[in-house]
């Protein structure tokens, strides 16, 4: 992108905890005091003095002289210090290094830190020594640091103010820093704006005085419409997480620089519509319904993360047509469901749901009636997908015979035998377990007719989705004694939160094990999901990769070359040609192009040369049938 027409205001940067993530003197102390028995104590004292000085609690001169006395540093420590600081430049400053090189003549680093370590670090960003204004150390003949040059205005209280007076910059001045002394430049009327820089440290007293708060340097560039590495500052990306996914999910989104809001439990349609405005990433589990109305209310939505397997609660086509990619965690909790199902089969076969409450009520009912071993019995698995197929292996390992039925052709595992029809499976199974997905056509898939086909005394499990079973028909089959027992984890209607009561016809029936949709609720599964889903979403946002999206054409992209244009459009003829016409008209060189379509949308990724005008972007946005368009720099 080209430079702005108007000259950039002078930018006065603080160094410690702004340009770098750390305080230079703290790091120097860490290096100089390494191996000394009182090192930890001294470093802590130095850090406390730094903080007190930065927060304006003690005078700068006092803070500095007390820190230097504790330091015990030598000239020889400076080279390792510089090497360390070069690795600790603030992330967003490092990523926008080109901006500094391009505008180095408008940038000053004004710091109460020391030239000896600041100059070489900022030199890598094109900032010349005369644009660095900082203290200088004094040394004795042995090279020990004895203090700082007292003639330097920056060594005194109010030093930054005096330094700005001396600089006498001709034009608007913006100050970016984390400390109170940075704000004081603005307070003294020597800067037009003060930006509290909070990427590394947030000091409430400083933030309170700021014209703007900058969680990253991207935000500054975005606000001023200056050239930047990212197309959109990450701190502006809002994530809304519902239904308590594992805390790791929030951690990962925060680490990426996003804003994260959480709501315990689910939200109903109206509540979600009221919360969705401004949200870029929505995280839900199985309960939250993402309907067309919710999608209509979502003005910034880029992606939805289902922190579970099922995605039947989301209007996937509606989301796709709006250019919203949906990701789930197809594998992370499957083992947990398999273990639950196996446990349920054994527990039902021994009639534990009846015996356990009796024991708690003081009743001793020792009897073998209706109890059997599962060894040698036939397990009928309906839906031989990720869960069904795993259960097949585990069930065979404990001696069951396995038959399965799936509408799709599946790889037969172990000695499992495929049934050609559901009826064939129902008629021969001692235990029937459902592991089909929740697609709308599966509503009431198992009802009166299917239960009647099952063997007398057979057991029935539903750990899939509530609506796939006709619950009144199941209750009738249990009441009549035709079925020997059932385990049900999922229900057509499930309470929204733990404080809502559970109402269902299956309550109180004999040998029925009811669980509150906990098939995937284990520490392991939840942690896996909380890593898997954010990774997919962040990859999509950062690279355009849609691999494993459940509603977008899946494209695994090679590493980005220069700029990447991401275009989502309605799948009608001619859109790709129009995109390429725009690029050709503006003489933009295409380095690589990837297109995949489905019934509704086309997803085209174009890597182009670095050189192009803003007009190209406007023209691409204006291509007919565009749903969403973004650029990765």
Ligand X SMILES: O=C(O)[C@H](O)COP(=O)(O)O
3-state per-residue secondary structure call for 547-593 = CCECCCCCCCCCCCCCEEEEEEEECCCCHHHHHHHHHHHCCCCEEEE
Question: For the CA atoms of 580, 581, 586, 590, what is the dihedral angle to 10 degrees?
Answer: 20
Minimum distance from CB of 445 to ligand NAD (Å)? 5
Instruction: Based on the shown chain and the rule CB under 6 A, indicate whether residue 386 belongs to the binding site for ligand NAD.
Output: yes
Q: Terminal CA-to-CA distance of the chain, rounded, Å?
A: 10
CB-based contact 273:259 (threshold 8 Å): no
Q: How many secondary structure helices (H) and strands (E) does the chain include?
A: 24, 24
Q: In whole angstroms, what separates CA 189 from the centre of its chain?
A: 41
Among 134, 464, 620, 623, binds ligand NAD (CB under 6 A): 464
Q: What is the contact mask toward ligand X in residues 82 to 111, using x (rule: CB under 6 A)?
A: ------------------------------
Q: Which of 351, 517, 563, 567 is catalytic?
A: 517
Q: Hunting for tokens 């309605």 — which residue is that?
A: 570
Single out the segment in contact with ligand NAD by CB under 6 A; choices: 55-63, 238-246, 433-441, 606-614: 433-441
Q: What is the contact mask toward ligand NAD in residues 483 to 502, using x (rule: CB under 6 A)?
A: ------xx------------
Which CB, 152 or 333, lies closer to ligand X? 333
Under rule CB under 6 A, which residues in 299-318 are in contact with ligand X? 307-310
Minimum distance from CB of 336 to ligand NAD (Å)? 7
* Cα angle: 175, vertex 179, 181; to 5 degrees: 75
Answer with the entry of ligand X, ligand NAD, none that 285 interacts with (C-beta below 5 to 8 A by kind). ligand X
Answer with the entry of ligand X, ligand NAD, none that 324 interacts with (C-beta below 5 to 8 A by kind). none
Single out the segment in contact with ligand NAD by CB under 6 A; choices: 186-194, 252-260, 371-379, 461-469: 461-469
Minimum distance from CB of 386 to ligand NAD (Å)? 4
Active site residue 47: no
Which CB, 408 or 572, lies closer to ligand NAD? 408
| Distance (Å, whole) CA 561 – CA 209 | 42
428: number of Cβ within 10 Å = 17
Active site residue 536: no
Among 67, 186, 350, 517, binds ligand X (CB under 6 A): 517
Minimum distance from CB of 346 to ligand NAD (Å)? 18
Instruction: Based on the shown chain and the rule CB under 6 A, indicate whether residue 63 belongs to the binding site for ligand NAD.
Output: no
Answer with the entry of ligand NAD, ligand X, none that 327 interacts with (C-beta below 5 to 8 A by kind). none
Residue 54's contacts (CB-CB under 8 Å, 6 or more residues apart) are 17, 178, 179, 180, 181, 203, 206
Q: Which of 91, 251, 339, 494 is catalytic?
A: 494
CB-based contact 107:13 (threshold 8 Å): yes
Q: Which of 186, 203, 465, 564 is catalytic?
A: 465
Active site residue 600: no
Residue 154's contacts (CB-CB under 8 Å, 6 or more residues apart) are 110, 111, 112, 133, 134, 135, 160, 162, 163
Instruction: Based on the shown chain and the rule CB under 6 A, indicate whether residue 286 belongs to the binding site for ligand X.
Output: yes
Beta-sheet strand order (sheet of 303-306): 259-263, 238-242, 281-284, 303-306, 325-327
Among 177, 438, 466, 485, binds ligand NAD (CB under 6 A): 438
Question: For the CA atoms of 237, 243, 247, 252, what is the dihedral angle to 10 degrees?
Answer: -30
Helix axes 115-123, 24-32, angle to 10 degrees: 110
User: What is 169-202 written as a DSSP string?
Assistant: -SS-EEEEESSHHHHHHHHTTS-SEEEEE-SS--
Minimum distance from CB of 286 to ligand X (Å)? 3
Among 387, 446, 471, 616, binds ligand NAD (CB under 6 A): 387
**Interface size with ligand NAD, residues (CB under 6 A):** 31
Among 337, 345, 347, 533, binds ligand NAD (CB under 6 A): 337
Instruction: Based on the shown chain and the rule CB under 6 A, indicate whether residue 334 belongs to the binding site for ligand X.
Output: no
CB-based contact 407:439 (threshold 8 Å): no
Residue 220's contacts (CB-CB under 8 Å, 6 or more residues apart) are 176, 195, 212, 214, 226
Minimum distance from CB of 328 to ligand NAD (Å)? 9
**By the criterion CB under 6 A, which residues form the site for ligand NAD?**
309-310, 330, 333-334, 337, 382-388, 405-408, 435-438, 442, 445, 463-465, 489-490, 517, 519-520
User: Which residues are identified as catalytic?
Assistant: 465, 494, 517
Residues of this chain that interact with ligand X (CB under 6 A) are: 285-287, 307-310, 333, 517, 519-521
């Amino acid at each position: 992108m080209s430079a702005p027409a108007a000259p950039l205001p002078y930018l006065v940067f603080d160094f410690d905890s702004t340009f770098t993530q750390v305080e230079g003197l703290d790091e120097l102390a860490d290096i100089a005091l390494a191996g000394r028995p009182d090192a930890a104590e001294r470093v802590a004292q130095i850090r406390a003095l730094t903080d007190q000085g930065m927060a304006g609690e003690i005078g700068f001169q006092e803070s500095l002289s007390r820190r230097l006395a504790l330091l015990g540093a030598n000239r020889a420590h400076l080279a390792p210090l510089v090497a360390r600081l070069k690795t600790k430049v603030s992330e967003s400053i490092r990523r926008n290094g080109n901006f500094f090189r391009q505008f180095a003549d408008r940038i000053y680093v004004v710091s109460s830190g020391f030239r000896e370590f600041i100059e070489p670090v900022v030199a890598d960003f094109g900032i010349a020594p005369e644009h660095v204004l900082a203290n200088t150390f004094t040394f004795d003949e042995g090279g020990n640091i004895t203090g700082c040059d007292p003639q330097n205005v920056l060594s005194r209280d109010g030093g930054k103010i005096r330094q700005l007076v001396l600089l006498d910059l001709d034009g608007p001045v913006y100050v970016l820093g984390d400390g109170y002394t940075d704000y004081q430049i603005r307070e003294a009327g020597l800067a037009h704006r003060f930006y509290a820089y909070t990427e590394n440290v947030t000091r409430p007293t400083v933030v309170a005085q700021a014209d703007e708060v900058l969680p990253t340097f991207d935000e500054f560039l975005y606000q001023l419409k200056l050239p930047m590495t990212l197309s959109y500052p990450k701190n502006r990306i809002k994530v809304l997480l519902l239904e308590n996914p594992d805390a790791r999910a929030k951690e990962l989104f925060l680490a990426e620089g996003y804003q994260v809001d959480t709501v315990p439990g689910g939200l109903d349609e109206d509540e979600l519509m009221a919360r969705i405005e401004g949200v870029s990433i929505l995280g839900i589990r199985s309960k939250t319904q993402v309907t067309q109305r919710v999608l209509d209310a979502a003005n910034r939505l880029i992606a939805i993360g289902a922190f579970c397997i099922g995605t039947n609660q989301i209007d996937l086509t509606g989301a796709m047509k709006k250019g919203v990619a949906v990701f789930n965690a197809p594998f992370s909790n499957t083992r947990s469901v398999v273990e639950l199902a196996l446990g349920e089969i054994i527990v039902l076969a021994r009639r534990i749901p009846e015996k356990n409450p009796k024991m708690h009520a003081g009743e001793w009912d020792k009897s073998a009636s209706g109890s059997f071993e599962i060894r040698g019995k036939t397990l009928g698995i309906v839906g031989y997908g990720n869960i069904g197929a795993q259960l097949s292996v585990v069930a065979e390992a404990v001696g069951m015979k396995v038959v399965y039925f799936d509408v799709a052709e599946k790889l037969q595992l172990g000695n499992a035998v495929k049934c050609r029809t559901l009826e064939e499976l129902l008629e021969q199974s001692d235990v029937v377990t459902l592991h089909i997905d929740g697609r709308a056509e599966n509503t009431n898939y198992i009802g009166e007719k299917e239960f009647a086909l099952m063997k007398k005394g057979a057991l029935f499990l539903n750990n899939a989705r509530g609506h796939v079973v006709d619950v009144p028909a199941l209750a009738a089959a249990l009441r009549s004694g035709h079925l020997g027992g059932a385990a049900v984890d999922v229900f057509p209607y499930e309470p929204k939160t733990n404080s809502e009561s559970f109402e269902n016809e299956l309550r109180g029936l004999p040998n029925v094990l009811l669980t509150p949709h906990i098939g995937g609720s284990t520490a392991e599964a939840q942690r896996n999901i909380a890593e898997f889903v954010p990774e997919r979403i962040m990859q999509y946002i950062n690279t355009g990769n849609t691999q494993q999206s459940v509603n977008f054409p899946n494209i695994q992209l090679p590493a980005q070359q220069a700029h990447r244009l991401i275009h989502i459009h309605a799948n009608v003829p001619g859109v790709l040609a129009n995109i390429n016409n725009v690029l050709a008209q503006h003489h933009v060189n295409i380095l690589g192009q990837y297109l995949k379509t489905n019934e509704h949308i086309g997803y085209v990724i174009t890597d182009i040369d670095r050189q192009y005008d803003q007009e190209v972007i406007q023209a691409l946005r204006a291509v007919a049938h565009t749903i969403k368009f973004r650029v990765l720099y």
